[in-house]
Amino acid sequence: MRLSAFSDYSLRVLMVLGGNTDRLVTIAEIARMHEISENHLTKVVHQLGRAGYIETLRGKGGGMRLARAPREIALGEVLRQTETDFALVECFGPGSRCQIEPGCQLKTILGEALSALFRVLDSYTLADILHQPGHPGPLAGLMTVVNRPTDGVA
């Protein structure tokens, strides 16, 4: 199983915003930091805003910030919002044509594994990503966006 780029970028946006709680961050800054297309990142930000994870402010001096505290953003919840398909094999989805499905236990076993994955993800929050136990400082320091010159490009 592999997460989509959309989910990966969603988590990155949340991490950067969690590391920059003292100011608004722009899509352009995150795009430069992670070398991601601004157009694709705009779609990610729109979805995160619709889901209530971030707030966006338009206009000069605008940007985005977390809408909730990092400890209130469960990783499993984010992935349920950003992933479109958790059908690990054909028989998970509608219209399965698998000939052995009636007597096969693979669907049951993979379903149990997927449930276990979400139990773990639901037990962690954005705050857990930003603060790594045993390290001198939070990951948030690494996710701080530095305003870099844009050579006239907004």
Tens of pLDDT, residue by residue, the chain (154 residues):
788 999 999 999 999 999 999 999 999 999 999 999 999 999 999 999 999 999 999 888 899 999 999 999 999 999 999 998 887 777 777 787 888 777 888 888 988 999 999 999 999 999 999 976 555 444 545 555 555 444 444 4
At 132, list the tokens: 């790594």
| CB neighbour class for 25 (10 Å; exposed up to 12, middle 13-18, buried from 19) | buried
Q: Which pTM value belongs to this model?
A: 0.81
Give the chain's domains with CATH numbers.
5-141 (1.10.10.10)
What CA dihedral angle connects 16, 57, 82 and 50, to 10 degrees? 150
Give first-to-last CA distance, the chain, whole Å. 37
